[in-house]
Amino acid sequence: MSKCATVGAPFVNEEEEPIPIVVIIILSLCAIVLVLFMPWKSELDQMQKVNKNNNTPGGPDEDKEKDE
């Protein structure tokens, strides 16, 4: 992705006047939409609590088995 942006930026910059700003606005809106669909910190904390209670690998019960 970074190589596409690095190679594509000069081409967009050389376009007529409204096109570069339109591309920037579209990319910004895409970034905002992606961020809105990411889980919030409170949701991630709840997922971690559920994983610890379900005895998943790497959970608290596995550490007890290693000590024994």
Both tokens of 7, joined, read 């190679």
Say yes or no: 8 and 26 in one domain: yes
CA dihedral angle for residue 10, residue 14, residue 19, residue 21, rounded to 10 degrees = 60
CA distance 25 to 5: 15
Say yes or no: 50 and 19 in one domain: no
Neighbouring CB atoms inside 10 A of 52's CB total: 13
Q: Which of 28, 26, 29, 24 is nearest to 12 (CA)?
A: 24
Say yes or no: 32 and 46 in one domain: no
pTM of the entire structure?
A: 0.53
CA distance 64 to 68: 7
- Residues 40-65 pLDDT 10s: 888 888 878 776 776 555 555 555 55
Which structural domain, as residue segments, surrounds residue 56? 40-68
Which pLDDT does position 30 carry in this prediction? 93
